[in-house]
């Protein structure tokens, strides 16, 4: 069975309303996706309170296009997410995110509901290959249906974040470091994500790849004009196409590697039917993958090594004292309590410092730093196996 992914060109956000209509019309009857009266939870990527131009979060115009689609189908819109690792899932942090990411204004203008319910519940998932119980934010569980509105970005730990990784946002922010602590190996973390999309399957995933992120994403990379909007009922299928766009081989994508191990499809481009373009024309030119990527079987190697050797083969996070503002976001995100804020009387009055003996290379500090003060450096062994 071929899994369908729909794709349209969209050169910029000025044209996104029009191009989203084209995308949805290609997908057929709206009744397949929204039924009148349904409460539809729309889950964007709200990693942190960042301006839309930084390409860290789903662009508000894409979110607006999806909300309008849901309304046309007779659904009631609720926008919800729990921001990244270490950010408390509370009203204050949600308000900050909605406002800075441009979502508050579009919601207010169109009378779309923004979530402020900060409860979460334990959900049993006995079918899970690794995780049998998840903590999930309550609005996701209370909704009739979930729409996953993700962004195409690189990711220093998982190499790519798209439809599958975006679903990690349904876990409350302060619970996220615990998953990193327990699942240090990329393969185990990927397996957890696969369990999560099976536990809480989105009915539809829509990807904002108009401007994505290249380099050391998901927050410290560089915005990249890609020029596509994509949609699929299957988040794995959507990520396979995102990988084709970015030039990330399926064997270097931990999620697809694990899906293959578990016998879950789709896990390779041959199993996907791309509608709207040919595979040969979608590759984004000069797309820069993360520095942490060990190509050509490196992923397999690192996944088999003991944690001691993993640190020899992977990039090491370092904090630049001259840039650090001692905000503590990295400390709150660190699952191993490896980060301390140092207060000194000298030139760098306060800064964060990493205890590398405790570090497990999850890169949550890099992901959550608002100042890009966490740099990733690699030694000789790393360079032998990279690029």
Q: Look up residue 111 and give its DSSP letter.
A: T
Q: CB of residue 291 vs ligand SF4: minimum separation in angstroms?
A: 14
Q: CB of residue 223 vs ligand SF4: minimum separation in angstroms?
A: 20
Q: Which candidate, 144, 261, 268, places its Cα nearest to that of 203? A: 144
Task: By CB under 6 A, tell whether 74 contacts ligand SF4.
Answer: no
Task: By CB under 6 A, tell whether 142 contacts ligand SF4.
Answer: no
Task: By CB under 6 A, tell whether 204 contacts ligand SF4.
Answer: no
Check if the beta carbon of residue 151 is closer than 8 Å to that of residue 57: yes
Task: Out of 6, 364, 378, 382, point to the residue binding ligand SF4 (CB under 6 A).
Answer: 364
Q: Which candidate, 183, 140, 129, 166, places its Cα nearest to that of 360? A: 183
Nearer to ligand SF4, 95 or 336 (CB): 336
Check if the beta carbon of residue 90 is closer than 8 Å to that of residue 54: no
Q: Can you read off the two tokens belonging to residue 298?
A: 């490196």
Nearer to ligand SF4, 255 or 365 (CB): 365
Task: By CB under 6 A, tell whether 362 contacts ligand SF4.
Answer: yes
Task: Out of 104, 369, 378, 382, point to the residue binding ligand SF4 (CB under 6 A).
Answer: 369
Helix (H, G, I), strand (E, B) or coil at 155: strand
Per-residue contact track with ligand SF4, 275 to 314, x per CB under 6 A? ----------------------------------------
Check if the beta carbon of residue 264 is closer than 8 Å to that of residue 199: no
Nearer to ligand SF4, 97 or 274 (CB): 97
- Whole-angstrom Cα distance, residue 30 to residue 349? 57
Element (H, E) at 159: strand 159-161
Task: By CB under 6 A, tell whether 158 contacts ligand SF4.
Answer: no
CA dihedral (257, 258, 260, 266) positive or negative:
negative
* Residue 251 CB neighbours (<10 A): 16
Task: Out of 68, 371, 385, 386, point to the residue binding ligand SF4 (CB under 6 A).
Answer: 371
- For residue 213, which phi and psi values (nearest 5 degrees)? -135, 135
- Whole-angstrom Cα distance, residue 228 to residue 151? 11
Task: By CB under 6 A, tell whether 80 contacts ligand SF4.
Answer: no
Q: CB of residue 347 vs ligand SF4: minimum separation in angstroms?
A: 15
Quickly tell me which residue has 């909704």 as its tokens: 143
318-347 residues in contact with ligand SF4 (CB under 6 A) are 319, 324-330, 333-336, 338-339
**DSSP characters over 108-175:** HHHTPEEP----EEEEE-TT-SS-SEEEEEHHHHHSSEEEEEEEEEEETTTEEESHHHHGGGGS-GGG
Q: Which candidate, 160, 81, 47, 68, places its Cα nearest to that of 110? A: 68
Nearer to ligand SF4, 59 or 331 (CB): 331
Q: CB of residue 321 vs ligand SF4: minimum separation in angstroms?
A: 9
Pick the piece of the chain touching ligand SF4 (CB under 6 A) from 106-114, 262-270, 278-286, 370-378: 370-378
Task: By CB under 6 A, tell whether 174 contacts ligand SF4.
Answer: no
Q: CB of residue 371 vs ligand SF4: minimum separation in angstroms?
A: 4
Nearer to ligand SF4, 110 or 337 (CB): 337
Q: How many residues belong to the site for ligand SF4 (CB under 6 A)?
A: 28
- Site residues (vs ligand SF4, CB under 6 A): 317, 319, 324-330, 333-336, 338-339, 352, 354, 359-365, 369, 371, 373-374
């Amino acid at each position: 069975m071929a899994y369908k992914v729909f794709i349209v060109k969209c050169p910029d956000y000025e044209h996104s309303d029009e191009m989203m209509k084209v995308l949805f019309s290609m997908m057929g009857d709206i009744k397949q996706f929204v039924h009148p009266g349904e409460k539809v939870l729309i889950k964007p990527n709200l990693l942190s309170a960042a301006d839309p131009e930084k390409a860290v979060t789903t662009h508000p115009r894409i979110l607006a296009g999806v909300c309008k689609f849901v309304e046309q189908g007779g659904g009631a819109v609720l926008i919800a997410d729990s921001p990244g690792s270490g950010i408390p899932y509370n009203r204050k942090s949600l308000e900050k995110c909605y406002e800075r990411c441009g979502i508050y204004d579009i919601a207010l203008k169109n009378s779309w509901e923004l979530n402020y319910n900060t409860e979460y519940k334990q959900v049993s998932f006995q079918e899970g290959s690794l995780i049998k119980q998840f903590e999930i934010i309550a609005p996701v569980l209370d909704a009739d249906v979930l729409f996953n509105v993700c962004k195409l970005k690189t990711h220093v730990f998982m190499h790519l974040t798209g439809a599958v990784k975006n679903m990690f946002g349904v876990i409350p922010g302060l619970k996220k470091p615990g998953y990193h602590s327990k699942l240090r190996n990329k393969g185990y973390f990927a397996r957890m994500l696969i369990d999560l999309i099976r536990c809480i399957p989105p009915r539809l995933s829509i990807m904002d790849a108009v401007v994505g992120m290249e380099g050391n994403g998901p927050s410290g990379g560089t915005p990249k004009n890609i020029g596509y909007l994509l949609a699929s009922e299957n988040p794995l299928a959507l990520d396979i196409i995102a990988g084709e766009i970015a030039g990330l081989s399926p064997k270097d994508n931990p999620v697809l590697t694990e899906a293959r191990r578990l016998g879950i499809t789709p896990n390779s481009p041959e199993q996907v039917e791309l509608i709207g373009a040919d595979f040969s024309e979608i590759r984004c030119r000069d797309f820069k993958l993360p520095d942490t990527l060990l190509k050509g079987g490196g992923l397999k190697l690192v996944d088999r090594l003991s944690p001691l050797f993993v640190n020899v083969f992977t990039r090491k996070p370092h904090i630049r004292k001259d840039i650090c503002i001692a905000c503590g976001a990295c400390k709150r995100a660190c699952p191993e309590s490896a980060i301390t804020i140092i207060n000194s009387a000298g030139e760098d009055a306060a800064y964060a410092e990493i205890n590398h003996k405790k570090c497990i290379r999850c890169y949550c500090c890099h992901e959550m730093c608002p100042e890009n003060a966490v740099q990733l450096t690699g030694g000789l062994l790393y360079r032998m196996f990279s690029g």
